[in-house]
Homo-oligomer: A and B are copies of this chain.
Amino acid sequence: MSRYIVRMPGPRFTLDRSSPVPLYFQVAEQFEHAILSGEIAPGERIDNEIALAKDLGLSRPTMRQAIQVLVDKGMLVRKRGVGTQVVHGKIRRSVELTSLFDDLSAAGQKPRTEVLAVGKVAAEEDVAHELQLSIGDDVWSLERLRFVGKQPLAVMHNFIPLDVVDLDAVDLETVGLYAHMRTSGILMRVARQRIGARGAGAEEAALLGEKKGSPLLTMQRTAYDNAGRAVEYGRHAYRPDLYAFELTLVDR
C-alpha cells in the first residue's frame, strides 16, 4: 500500500466523540502537534485520506476537513494522484486578528502600557471615512505607549465609535484594548491592514527614544465586526529595531 516514506498515525491519535470539540479539529490538532514536534518531518508523506479515515474510524469528508485545516495553515500540501506531505514544521504564526499586547504576552515577554491620552474627539477626515461616520462626529481617541521591558516599542493611536464600547471605566494599562472589546461582546471578524514606513515626527521620536526623522514601521488597521460595521481604526508606529510583521502565505 505504502511505498516510500509514509506515516501511519495509528493508535497514537485519540478521538473523543463525546467532546464538544469537532472531530476534524481534534485530528488537525494532533497532526499539527506531530508536525511541530518533528515526529513527522518536512518532506514526509502522510497516509492517504481513505486509509487515515479508516484508521481513525472517521468518514473521508471528516478526514479531508482535518487535513484542510493544516493545508490552510501552510503546513501540509496536497498533490492529486500523489499524496499529502509536510511542507515545513516551524510555522511562524501568521498575522491574526490580535493585538500587539497578545503578541508579546504569547511570546513570554512582559509588555507594559502607558496611556498617554483617552477621551472623545471630533473625527478627522480619514478617521470618519474609515469608521463610516461623518466628519466631526465624536469618537473615542486612545493614545498609548507600549514598552517591552524598559524600552519603548510603539506609539499606538486608536479610534472607536462611541456606541461600540465605553472606554471611561476601563483600566487600559492592564487590560488591553482588544481584550476589553471582546469582553464587551464585540467580535472582530475581518480587518484590513496597511503596513508602511515613514520618518519619525518630533513628538513620536521623543516618546520612542529615537531621533526625529529616524525610520519607523507603521501599521493602519480597520477592524469590522460580524455585521460589517467598522468598530476600530488604529494608526500605529513601531520601532523597527524591535518589531517586525511576520506572516505565512499559502497559495490556494
Contact = CB atoms under 8 A, between A and B. Distances in A.
A61 B59 CA distance: 15
A77 B196 contact: no
Interface in A79-105: 79, 85-88, 92, 95-97
Contacts of A244: 194-196
A150 interface: no
B215 A197 contact: yes
A168 interface: no
B247 A95 contact: yes
Residue of A79, A215, A224, A227 with most chain B CB atoms under a 10 A cut-off: A215
Contacts of A52: none
A224 B88 CA distance: 9
Contact of A249 (B42, B92, B193): B193
A198 interface: yes
Interface stretch (A14-22, A112-120, A138-146, A183-191): A183-191
Contacts of A79: 226
User: Chain A, interface size: which category?
Assistant: 35 or more
Contacts of A38: none
A118 to B, nearest CB: 25
Interface in A177-236: 188-199, 213-217, 224, 226-228
Contact of A88 (B85, B95, B190, B248): B190
Q: How many identical chains are in the complex?
A: 2
Contacts of A152: none
Contacts of A245: 193-196
Contact of A251 (B92, B188, B248): B188
Contact of A43 (B214, B227, B247): B227
Given A61-B61, A199-B214, 15 more contacts: A79-B226, A85-B228, A87-B228, A95-B247, A97-B251, A190-B249, A192-B246, A192-B247, A192-B248, A193-B245, A193-B247, A195-B247, A196-B245, A197-B240, A213-B214
27 contacts: A43-B227, A43-B228, A74-B190, A77-B228, A87-B189, A92-B192, A96-B251, A97-B249, A188-B251, A189-B250, A190-B249, A191-B249, A192-B247, A192-B249, A193-B245, A193-B247, A193-B248, A194-B245, A195-B217, A196-B240, A196-B243, A196-B245, A197-B197, A199-B215, A213-B213, A217-B217, A247-B247
